[in-house]
Amino acid sequence: MNDRLKFAAFGGGLVVLFGAALGIGALVGDPSPAPGPDTSQTDALGLLDTESGYTLSEISAPTAANQPGALSFRITGPNGTVTAYDKEHEKDLHLIVARTDTSQFRHVHPVLGADGTWSIDWKWNEPGTYRVFTDFTPTGGPGGLTLSRTFDVAGNAVDRPLPPPSRTAEVDGYKVTLAGDLSTAGSELTFDITRDGKPVTDLQPYLGAYGHLVALRASDLAYLHVHPQGEVGKTPAGPAVAFHAEAPSGGEYRLYLDFSHNNAVHTAEFTIAATAPTSASPGGHGTHGGGH
């Protein structure tokens, strides 16, 4: 993962850092900007196609909605096409795809060919512009890279408004309730999962954890992928799944919680606003570094 926004999962010693420039989001092009944090790193929050000597190739995929085909790409590095990766959370690469209005979201895992081409069967549900994120660690390279590109799907695309902030989400018969506030000062987010009014206490491990959280900043899809506090087999398997979170800036975020139960993966979606303390408030931040 990128080292520019910090969503720290302390259980098991896992810390995800993402967001080198905190408080990002000042209006670009303002002729008389107010003093504040440097915004030059905005495009580095998972939104670059090249970083640290590694590049995400152009995306090949169906060009229209409801057209079956394959989505494929390569990662190149200092020595050419990358063919060896270190596993992160049981996979060599995580592929996250989101429509730019956040109305469509997928977290999947393509297959790596011998020539270094990643591919997966694919069909777009709707026309529009999508951002394709690749989250990986090349063997012998820097840990936790996230590279992305946009892909346009032909058709009459109409952006949907961002869903209003909500503390509850319903998916596949499950109700997920969010407690805690997202803040640039750091805070805990806890997701409580029930079904038919009863707590779910037998969550199944998915990619080595009881839950995974992807957060996208609504304004630009700045990205992070994080794992919860605790360890499988030691932490209770529900109903609560907790994350320690620190946002890079105030503003609205779209949260996608993946969890596994009854041998299926379910995704609960939330909109939440992050708050930022005043400059005089305690708990201010400097630059963070690191990765998984």
DSSP letter, residue 1: -
- Top pLDDT among 40 and 77 is at 77
Q: Give the tens place of pLDDT for each residue, 239-292.
A: 999 998 778 788 999 999 999 999 999 999 999 998 887 654 444 333 223 233
Residue-level pLDDT at 179: 96
Residue-level pLDDT at 44: 61
* Distance in angstroms (rounded) separating the CA atoms of residues 74 and 70: 13
- Top pLDDT among 198 and 7 is at 198
Mean pLDDT of 116-128: 97
* Distance in angstroms (rounded) separating the CA atoms of residues 35 and 30: 12
* Distance in angstroms (rounded) separating the CA atoms of residues 253 and 102: 10
* Residue 2 clears pLDDT 70, i.e. is over it: no
Confidence of residue 109 (pLDDT cuts 50, 70, 90): very high
Mean pLDDT, the chain, as a whole number? 83
DSSP letter, residue 290: -
SS3 42: helix
Poorest-pLDDT segment among 16-25, 65-74, 166-175, 269-278: 16-25
* Distance in angstroms (rounded) separating the CA atoms of residues 50 and 56: 6
Residue-level pLDDT at 279: 56
Mean pLDDT of 174-189: 91
Poorest-pLDDT segment among 5-19, 114-128, 185-199: 5-19
* Distance in angstroms (rounded) separating the CA atoms of residues 119 and 122: 9
- Residue by residue, what is the 3-state secondary structure of 181-224? CCECCCEEEEEEEEECCEECCCCECECCECCEEEEEECCCCCEE
Single pTM value for the model: 0.81
Residue-level pLDDT at 278: 63
Q: Give the tens place of pLDDT for each residue, 12-33.
A: 333 333 333 333 332 223 333 3
Name residue 213's beta-bridge partners: 226, 257
Residue-level pLDDT at 277: 73
Task: With beta carbons less than 8 A apart as the criterion, state whether 107 and 267 touch.
Answer: yes
DSSP 89-139: TTBSEEEEEEETTSS-EEEE--EE-TTSEEEEEE--SS-EEEEEEEEE-BT
Longest CA span, the chain: 56
Q: Which amino acid is at 64?
A: A
**Burial, 272: exposed, middle or buried (Cβ in 10 Å; 0-12, 13-18, 19+)?**
buried
Q: Give the tens place of pLDDT for each residue, 229-239.
A: 889 999 999 99
**Burial, 3: exposed, middle or buried (Cβ in 10 Å; 0-12, 13-18, 19+)?**
buried
Task: With beta carbons less than 8 A apart as the criterion, state whether 99 and 130 touch.
Answer: yes
Mean pLDDT of 129-145: 96
* Residue 86 clears pLDDT 50, i.e. is over it: yes
Instruction: Report the share of the chain in percent with pLDDT over 90.
Output: 68
